[in-house]
Chain A
Amino acid sequence: MSVTAADSAARPGAATLPGRYRAVDLMRSEWTKLRTVRSTTWTLGMTVLVGLAASGLATGVTRAHWAAMTASDKASFHPVEVSLMGAYLGGTLLLGILGILVVSAEYATGTIRATLSAAPRRPMVLAAKVLVFGAVTLVVAELAAFASFFLGQALLTAPAPHATLSSPGALRAVAGSGLFLCVVGLLALGISVLVRHTAGAISSYVGVILILPIIVSALPGSLQYQIERLLPLEIGSAIINNPAPDAFGPWTGLLILCGYTTVILALGAVFLVRRDA
C-alpha cells in the first residue's frame, strides 16, 4: 500500500509524538484558514481603501469649500474626526462581516466538522480564532486609521486647519479607533458563534450597531442619553472625538465594549461546547 510507503520508517502515528495538540497549533491552522479565502483579502483591503477614500473625499471637499464656509462651521470643524470617519464606519461594517464569516462560513460549508475533528477541545478552537482574527484585524484597523489620518491631514492645507499626531487627543483618537474596530470585530465573531448562520449573524450585528441607536433615539430625552452612551457606535464616536454630551470617555467606553465582547464570546464558548456541531 502506497499510503505509508513514502515514510513508513517515520510514520506520523500518535505513538511517535509526545504531548498533545496545543493552542499554538490551532492558531497556525486558523491563520492558514484566514489567509486562504478571498473574503479575508477583500474585506481587509476594502477597510483600508474605504478609510482612505472617505478621508480623502471629506477633507478634500472641505478644503475646496473652506473660503465659503460659515464661521460656526469653521469653528466646529474637527480635522481628526473627519479623516477617521470612513475608516471607523467602514471598518465597523467590513471587519464585522469578516468576523462573522470566520465562524459562519465554517458552518455553511461544513468545515466546522473538520475543524472540531482535528481539535475536539472546542473552547481552545474559539480562543485560537479570537487570537488570530483579533491580531490580524488590529493590525489592519490601525493601518487603516493611521493611513486615513495622514492622508486627510495632508489634504487639509492652509488656511484649513489640520492636526498632527501630537495635537491634543489626536494619537488617542487614531490608535483608539483601531482598537475599537478590533474589539467590535470580535463582538461580531462572538455573535456569529451564537447564531451560526451568515445572514442571521449579519442581521443581528447590524441590528446592534445601526438599528438599536434608531430605536433608542425614539425614547424620551433623559432615558435616551442614559442608554445611548452604552451603544457601541456611541462609544466609537467618543473615541474619534465626537463625544455626545453624556458620552463616556474614550477609554471607559472601550472598556465597556470589551465587556460586551467578553460576555458574548464566553456565551459563545458555552454554546459551542454544548451544541452538536
Chain B
Amino acid sequence: MIEAHHLTKRYGDKVAVDDLSFAVRPGIVTGFLGPNGSGKSTTMRMIMGLDHPTGGRATVNGQHYHDLAWPLREVGALLEATAIHPGRSARAHLRMLAEANRIPLHRADELLDLVGLASVAGQRAGKFSLGMSQRLGIAAALLGDPGTLIFDEPVNGLDPDGIRWVRNLLKGLAAEGRTVFVSSHLMSEMALTADEVVVIGRGRFLAHQPVAEMTAKSTASFVRVRSPQLERLRAALDKQGARTALADGALIVRGRDTEAIGDLAASLPVTLHELAAESASLEEAFMELTEESIEYHGTLQEPASGARR
C-alpha cells in the first residue's frame, strides 16, 4: 500500500507536485499517467524518500520510507534504468545492494537468471544496452522480494518481446498480492497492463479510476445511431440534453448509453438500423483529461533535451 497525503514539491516558484493525494492498493497494477514534466518522477522519488516534500507526506505500508527496517525487502524500485556504475558488473551491482539489507547473495544470481542476464553477469554494466540496463534495474527492484514495487517507465528501451515480458511480470507480481505502481507515457501499454490509473497533470491530481471506467467516461466515447427517422430521434435526444452531431449520415450521440437511446427510440417510436457504442481508447481519454494541463505544447520550443526535471 502506497499513500500520498497532500504531497507537494516546490522548486522556488515552480510547483512540481501540487497537493497530491492518492492510495495505491495491493493486488492490482496501478498505472501512473501524466504528460512529460507533470511530476510523476518527482512523486516517485518523494515516495522513496529521495526527494523531500515541501508539504504533505508519502508512506509505504503506513510508514515513512526513512523508517523502514529493511527498505529493499519492503519496496523495490526502478527509477532510472541507467543509474548503474558503468564500471561495475551486473552481479556486483546486485551484490552491494543485497549486502546493505542482508539479503542472501544467491538472490543476485537467481534474479540475473530471471531477467535473462545470467550470461553477462560478470560484464561491466557500461557495455549494456538500454534494454539490458532496464532488466538489471528490474532485477535490483525484485532483489529483496518486496511487497511493494515502484517502476518509472519500465518498458523504455525494451523490444516487443521485452515489453511483453515486463507486462506479464507486472501482472504476475500484482497477482501475488503485491502493490505495483508503474508510470508510463505509453497509454496503449497502460491499457494492457494496468487495472487502475492515477492521472496527474502539472503536478495536480486529475483522476484515479479503473482503466475501463476512464475510457467509458470520456467524451471520445459515443453511440452511433442510424435510422430512417434520424431527425425525429435527434430532436428528442436534444430535448433531453444529450449532445448530438451528424456524421456520414449517422447520428453521433454523447452523454447517453445504448440502452437509453434504444428505449427512447422505442417510445417515439423510431426504427433503428444501427445502435453501436464506440468506446474511447485510453489514450483519447487521457489526452482529454490532460489537455488543459499539458505544460509544454508541441508548438512551443522543446525544452533542452538534457534538461532534468
- Please tell me if A4 contacts chain B, counting CB pairs below 8 Å: yes
- Please tell me if A166 contacts chain B, counting CB pairs below 8 Å: no
B172-189 interface code vs A (CB 8 A; 1 in, 0 out): 110110000000000000
Instruction: Report yes or no: B85 in contact with A109, Cβ–Cβ below 8 A.
Output: yes
With A1-B173, A14-B69, A21-B102 as known contacts, state yes or no: A118 contacts B97, CB within 8 Å.
Answer: yes
A99-126 interface code vs B (CB 8 A; 1 in, 0 out): 0000001100111011111111100000
Residues in A neighbouring B70, C-beta threshold 8 A = 14, 17, 20-21
- Taking a contact as CB atoms closer than 8 A, the residue among B73, B83, B100, B142 that contacts A13 in the complex is B73
Could you tell me the distance between the alpha carbons of A12 and B79 in the complex, rounded to whole angstroms?
Answer: 22
- Taking a contact as CB atoms closer than 8 A, the residue among B51, B99, B140, B142 that contacts A25 in the complex is B99
- Please tell me if B195 contacts chain A, counting CB pairs below 8 Å: no
B144: nearest chain-A partner, CB-CB: A12
A273 to chain B, nearest CB (A): 9
Instruction: Report yes or no: B103 in contact with A21, Cβ–Cβ below 8 A.
Output: no
B106-132 interface code vs A (CB 8 A; 1 in, 0 out): 010010001000000000000000000
B118 to chain A, nearest CB (A): 13
- Taking a contact as CB atoms closer than 8 A, the residue among B72, B79, B86, B100 that contacts A113 in the complex is B79
| Chain B contact residue count (CB 8 A cutoff) | 52
With A36-B88, A121-B66 as known contacts, state yes or no: A109 contacts B83, CB within 8 Å.
Answer: yes
- Please tell me if A72 contacts chain B, counting CB pairs below 8 Å: no
A19: nearest chain-B partner, CB-CB: B69
A108 to chain B, nearest CB (A): 9
Could you tell me the distance between the alpha carbons of A109 and B145 in the complex, rounded to whole angstroms?
Answer: 25
Instruction: Report yes or no: B97 in contact with A1, Cβ–Cβ below 8 A.
Output: no
B123 to chain A, nearest CB (A): 12
Q: Which of B134-187 contact A (CB under 8 A)?
A: 140, 142, 144-147, 169, 172-173, 175-176
Interface centre among B45, B69, B80 (most CB of A within 10 A): B69
Instruction: Report yes or no: B175 in contact with A1, Cβ–Cβ below 8 A.
Output: yes
Could you tell me the distance between the alpha carbons of A13 and B176 in the complex, rounded to whole angstroms?
Answer: 13
Instruction: Report yes or no: A32 in contact with B84, Cβ–Cβ below 8 A.
Output: no
Residues in A neighbouring B103, C-beta threshold 8 A = 12
B111: nearest chain-A partner, CB-CB: A3
Q: Which of A35-54 contact B (CB under 8 A)?
A: 36-39
Could you tell me the distance between the alpha carbons of A21 and B99 in the complex, rounded to whole angstroms?
Answer: 10
- Please tell me if B286 contacts chain A, counting CB pairs below 8 Å: no
Instruction: Report yes or no: A12 in contact with B104, Cβ–Cβ below 8 A.
Output: yes
- Please tell me if A242 contacts chain B, counting CB pairs below 8 Å: no
A38 to chain B, nearest CB (A): 5
Residues in B neighbouring A6, C-beta threshold 8 A = 110
- Please tell me if B68 contacts chain A, counting CB pairs below 8 Å: yes
Instruction: Report yes or no: B52 in contact with A276, Cβ–Cβ below 8 A.
Output: yes
Q: Which of B29-63 contact A (CB under 8 A)?
A: 45, 48-52
Residues in B neighbouring A144, C-beta threshold 8 A = none
Interface centre among A11, A28, A30, A117 (most CB of B within 10 A): A117
With A3-B145, A117-B77 as known contacts, state yes or no: A111 contacts B84, CB within 8 Å.
Answer: yes
Could you tell me the distance between the alpha carbons of A109 and B74 in the complex, rounded to whole angstroms?
Answer: 24
- Please tell me if B92 contacts chain A, counting CB pairs below 8 Å: yes
Could you tell me the distance between the alpha carbons of A32 and B52 in the complex, rounded to whole angstroms?
Answer: 29
Could you tell me the distance between the alpha carbons of A3 and B73 in the complex, rounded to whole angstroms?
Answer: 14
B61: nearest chain-A partner, CB-CB: A14
Interface centre among B72, B80, B175 (most CB of A within 10 A): B72
A125 to chain B, nearest CB (A): 9
Residues in A neighbouring B65, C-beta threshold 8 A = 120
- Please tell me if B271 contacts chain A, counting CB pairs below 8 Å: no
Residues in A neighbouring B77, C-beta threshold 8 A = 117
- Please tell me if B209 contacts chain A, counting CB pairs below 8 Å: no
Instruction: Report yes or no: A111 in contact with B50, Cβ–Cβ below 8 A.
Output: no
With A4-B176, A120-B49 as known contacts, state yes or no: A37 contacts B87, CB within 8 Å.
Answer: yes
Interface centre among A2, A17, A118, A119 (most CB of B within 10 A): A118
Residues in B neighbouring A37, C-beta threshold 8 A = 85, 87-88
B125: nearest chain-A partner, CB-CB: A109
- Taking a contact as CB atoms closer than 8 A, the residue among A33, A38, A110, A117 that contacts B72 in the complex is A117
A75 to chain B, nearest CB (A): 50
A196 to chain B, nearest CB (A): 14
Instruction: Report yes or no: A119 in contact with B100, Cβ–Cβ below 8 A.
Output: yes
Residues in B neighbouring A113, C-beta threshold 8 A = 45, 48, 50, 79-80, 83
Residues in A neighbouring B100, C-beta threshold 8 A = 21, 25-26, 28-29, 115, 118-119
Give 4 new A-B contacts, CB below 8 A, not counting A113-B45, A119-B100, A277-B51: A1-B176, A3-B172, A113-B80, A117-B48
Which residues of A does B touch, CB under 8 Å?
1-4, 6, 11-14, 17, 19-21, 25-26, 28-30, 32-33, 36-39, 105-106, 109-111, 113-121, 274, 276-277
6 tightest Cβ-Cβ pairs between the two chains A and B: A110-B83, A36-B92, A118-B100, A29-B100, A1-B172, A32-B96
Q: What are 16 residue pairs bridging A and B, where the CB atoms are less than 8 Å apart in the complex?
A: A1-B172, A3-B173, A4-B145, A13-B146, A17-B73, A21-B101, A29-B100, A32-B96, A38-B87, A109-B83, A109-B85, A110-B84, A113-B45, A119-B100, A276-B52, A277-B50
